[in-house]
């Protein structure tokens, strides 16, 4: 297997045109390759500058989860810290988790940040929403978002090898006029849903508004956890 390490977007495009398979941190593909055979060409973005940034409003797809620290919002940092074991987090990447994994632990965090992905296609790099990235399994270069006022992440404890644990991610953003929007994303099983509502009202009103969305169709235990997380994050808003 020939492993390519492009250092520019144009070089990464050339690798794609040659049929190189993106490997991320290889935590998800290695076992399959050992069983089914290795591809002729593979590609890692770990030497591509745009894919390795860790900034307050940007995160590269080739960043390993262990490297995600307090430079990014709390919701994303805590999501990364909840993935697997320390050994897994030292090799698994942002892009591999969101695009290559069926669990997608980082996806709820990215959704509540209203993040947009930069992806690489045959014609070059362009911006796409996360639903498109996940559905079409694009080659992701990185994520960008606006810094939230507050954010939070909760992942239920679960035994290794069992069903995916419930995840509730929350974030509050302020617009240019100081009005606040609450974003909530929930992973229940393998499905992820997200909703947005105004939150410059009483907490009970916010919760009632969420109940009228797809959040209201979640199982009772999941709805209880959403209510707890929403009440907590709204209670942490400055001046509330």
Which range (40-44, 152-156, 202-206) has the least confidence?
40-44
State pLDDT tens for residues 108-147. 999 999 999 999 988 889 999 999 999 998 999 999 999 9
Instruction: Calculate mean pLDDT across residues 78-92.
Output: 90
pLDDT (0 to 100) of residue 1: 79
Same-domain check for residues 195 and 217: yes
pTM of the model: 0.92
Quote the tokens at residue 57.
Answer: 């409003």
Same-domain check for residues 185 and 215: yes
In a domain, 64, yes or no: yes
In a domain, 41, yes or no: no
Instruction: Calculate mean pLDDT across residues 34-51.
Output: 86
In a domain, 131, yes or no: yes
Q: Hey, which residues does 4 pair with through a beta bridge?
A: 43
Task: Give the domain-ending residue among 93, 120, 144.
Answer: 144
Same-domain check for residues 138 and 154: no
Question: What's the mean per-residue pLDDT of the chain?
Answer: 91
């Amino acid at each position: 297997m020939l492993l390519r390490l492009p250092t520019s977007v144009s070089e990464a495009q050339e690798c794609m045109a040659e049929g190189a398979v993106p490997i991320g941190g290889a935590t998800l593909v290695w076992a399959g390759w050992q069983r089914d055979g290795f591809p002729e060409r593979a590609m890692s973005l770990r030497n591509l500058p745009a894919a390795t940034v860790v900034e307050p409003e940007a995160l590269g797809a080739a960043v390993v989860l262990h490297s995600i620290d307090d430079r990014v919002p709390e919701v994303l940092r805590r999501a990364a810290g909840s993935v697997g074991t320390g050994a897994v987090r030292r090799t698994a990447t942002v892009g591999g988790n969101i695009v290559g994994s069926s669990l997608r632990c980082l996806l709820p965090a990215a959704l509540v940040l209203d993040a947009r992905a930069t992806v690489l296609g045959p014609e070059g790099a362009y911006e796409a929403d996360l639903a498109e990235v996940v559905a079409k399994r694009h080659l992701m270069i990185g994520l960008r978002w606006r810094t939230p006022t507050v954010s939070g992440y909760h992942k239920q404890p679960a035994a290794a090898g069992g069903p995916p644990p419930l995840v509730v991610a929350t974030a509050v953003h302020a617009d240019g006029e100081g009005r606040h929007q609450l974003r909530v994303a929930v992973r229940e099983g393998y499905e992820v849903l997200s909703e947005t509502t105004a939150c410059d009202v009483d907490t009970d009103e916010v919760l009632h508004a969420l109940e009228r969305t797809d959040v209201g169709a979640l199982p009772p235990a999941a709805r209880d956890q959403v209510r707890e997380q929403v009440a907590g994050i709204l209670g942490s808003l400055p001046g509330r």
